[in-house]
């Protein structure tokens, strides 16, 4: 079957095999794929792009992820923790600037106990009609449960790679099984759940990417972050090449035609090599963008990978800039919270 037919079949039946996906990933003809992904994005998500404010509140981390610049073995990195009221203050600023979602992200930092996170959630929810997304890694079921009761709406926890052996070698502190267990808990607790993976991890094959996309389907995700791996100079993977941006866009487009409804962000890692790739993602299925809103002194220390595009701007300047950019693309800035799209 030629790839055009495979694409049509995936769209019609929402079914795909590893072989189908690999064939599309290999094919040099990607314009039909991108066109269809854009069409389905329009059909399911409309022309609105959702802006999410992200507060990276701590770069302390108990994990050893081999690819990540804030892993605990990086002794050169200056560590920071925002205090609880400082986090709430910046959430308030973002809300005032018009953001409808606050993403609270950090390394796995257990200084922020269940109670501390509860306090932050409850205070932010009092600001108004605002969604909270947590992205703070693996925790106990009872932690996740309490934060849902407190008002957290969504949780992002990428599966990073569907290859169990590769996952376990890249994450010596944990296991693939535990990651998946946490993702299933989050779904069970009725969080709008996000997963995702990296393109270009050393040891990854096209088969792995196909399985990554199938795993997103199996987990029935509401959001998925797909971005290239960027080598960080202070990590064990520093000499490996950067993930391929074209392959990233294709994985994103296949996810859109196959799963249809999830919110798909254009990831910051896509803008590292070429700012244009961030824009391209909006034509291949993406409908979300996140902007950092914590103070610049912290932004530059939350260096999971080197990103020369981090500039000192106010929350308002940053928001204006992104809104103009969305308008120039002929799309609209959403005024809604951008919750999960129902089946």
Residue 108 as a binder of ligand SAM (CB under 6 A): the answer is yes
- Looking at the chain, which runs of residues are DSSP E strands? 48-58, 101-106, 131-135, 154-156, 192-199, 223-228, 288-292, 332-333
Q: Which of residues 32-71 bind ligand SAM (CB under 6 A)?
A: 67-68
- CA dihedral of residues 166, 224, 14, 24 (deg, nearest 10): -60
Phi-psi region of 330 (alpha: psi -120 to 50; beta: other; left: phi over 0): left
User: What per-residue string of b and e applies to 95-116 under the rule 16 or more CB within 10 Å gives b?
Assistant: bebebbbbbbbbbbbeebebee
68: tokens are: 């990540």
Residue 137 as a binder of ligand SAM (CB under 6 A): the answer is yes
Q: Residue 63 or 91: which CB sits closer to ligand SAM?
A: 63
What's the min distance (Å) between Cβ of 24 and ligand SAM? Answer: 23
Burial class (CB in 10 A: 0-12, 13-18, 19+), 331: middle
Residue 198 as a binder of ligand SAM (CB under 6 A): the answer is yes
The one segment of 43-51, 101-109, 207-215, 292-300 that binds ligand SAM by CB under 6 A: 101-109
The one segment of 45-53, 78-86, 132-140, 247-255 that binds ligand SAM by CB under 6 A: 132-140
Q: How many C-beta atoms surround the C-beta of residue 181 within 10 A?
A: 13
What's the min distance (Å) between Cβ of 302 and ligand SAM? Answer: 8
Residue 105 as a binder of ligand SAM (CB under 6 A): the answer is yes
Applying CB under 6 A, among 34, 90, 147, 229 the residue interacting with ligand SAM is 229
Residue 271 as a binder of ligand SAM (CB under 6 A): the answer is no
Residue 227 as a binder of ligand SAM (CB under 6 A): the answer is yes
Q: Kindly list the distances between the CA atom of residue 63 and the CA atoms of 50, 72, 185, 227, in Å, as whole numbers in the listed order.
A: 30, 6, 21, 20
Q: Give dist(CA 137, CA 196) in Å, integer.
A: 13
Applying CB under 6 A, among 60, 167, 176, 305 the residue interacting with ligand SAM is 305
Q: Residue 20 or 138: which CB sits closer to ligand SAM?
A: 138
The one segment of 135-143, 207-215, 288-296, 325-333 that binds ligand SAM by CB under 6 A: 135-143
CA angle 268, 191, 58 (to 5 degrees): 45
Q: Kindly list the distances between the CA atom of residue 201 and the CA atoms of 65, 162, 196, 208, 240, in Å, as whole numbers in the listed order.
A: 12, 11, 13, 10, 8
Q: Residue 105 or 162: which CB sits closer to ligand SAM?
A: 105
Q: Residue 58 or 287: which CB sits closer to ligand SAM?
A: 58
The one segment of 28-36, 80-88, 129-137, 314-322 that binds ligand SAM by CB under 6 A: 129-137
Applying CB under 6 A, among 232, 250, 278, 319 the residue interacting with ligand SAM is 232
The one segment of 9-17, 43-51, 88-96, 227-235 that binds ligand SAM by CB under 6 A: 227-235
Q: Which of residues 156-185 bind ligand SAM (CB under 6 A)?
A: 157-158, 160
Q: Give dist(CA 77, CA 303) in Å, integer.
A: 9
Q: Which residues bind ligand SAM (CB under 6 A)?
A: 67-68, 105, 107-108, 135-137, 157-158, 160, 198, 227, 229-230, 232, 269, 304-305
């Amino acid at each position: 079957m030629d790839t055009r037919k495979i694409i049509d079949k995936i769209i019609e039946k929402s079914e795909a095999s590893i072989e189908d996906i690999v064939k599309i990933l290999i094919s040099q003809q990607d314009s039909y794929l991108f066109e269809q992904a854009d069409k389905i994005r329009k059909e399911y998500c409309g022309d609105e792009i959702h802006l999410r404010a992200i507060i990276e509140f701590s770069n302390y981390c108990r994990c050893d992820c081999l690819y990540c610049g804030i892993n605990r073995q990086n002794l050169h990195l200056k560590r920071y923790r925002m205090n609880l009221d400082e986090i709430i203050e910046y959430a308030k600023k973002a809300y005032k600037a018009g953001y409808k979602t606050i993403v609270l992200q950090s390394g796995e930092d257990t200084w922020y106990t269940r109670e501390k996170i509860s306090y932050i959630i409850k205070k932010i929810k009092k600001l108004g009609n605002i969604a909270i997304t947590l992205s703070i890694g693996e925790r106990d079921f009872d932690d996740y449960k309490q934060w849902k009761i407190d008002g957290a709406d969504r949780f992002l926890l990428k599966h990073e790679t569907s290859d169990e052996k590769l996952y376990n070698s890249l994450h010596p502190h944990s296991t693939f099984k535990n990651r998946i267990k946490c993702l299933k808990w989050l779904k069970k607790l009725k969080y709008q759940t996000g997963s995702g993976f990296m393109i270009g991890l050393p040891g990854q094959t096209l088969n792995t990417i196909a399985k990554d996309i199938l795993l997103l389907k199996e987990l029935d995700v509401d959001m998925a972050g797909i971005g290239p791996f960027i080598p960080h100079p202070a990590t064990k993977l520093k000499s490996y090449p950067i993930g391929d941006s074209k392959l990233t866009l294709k994985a994103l487009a296949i996810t859109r035609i196959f799963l249809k409804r999830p919110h798909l962000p254009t990831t910051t890692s896509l803008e590292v090599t070429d700012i244009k790739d961030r824009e391209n993602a909006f034509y291949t299925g993406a409908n979300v963008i996140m902007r950092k809103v914590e103070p610049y002194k912290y932004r530059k220390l939350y260096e999971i990978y080197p990103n020369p595009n981090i500039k000192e701007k106010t929350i308002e300047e940053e928001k204006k800039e992104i809104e103009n950019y969305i308008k120039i693309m002929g799309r609209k800035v959403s005024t809604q919270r951008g919750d999960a799209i129902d089946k």
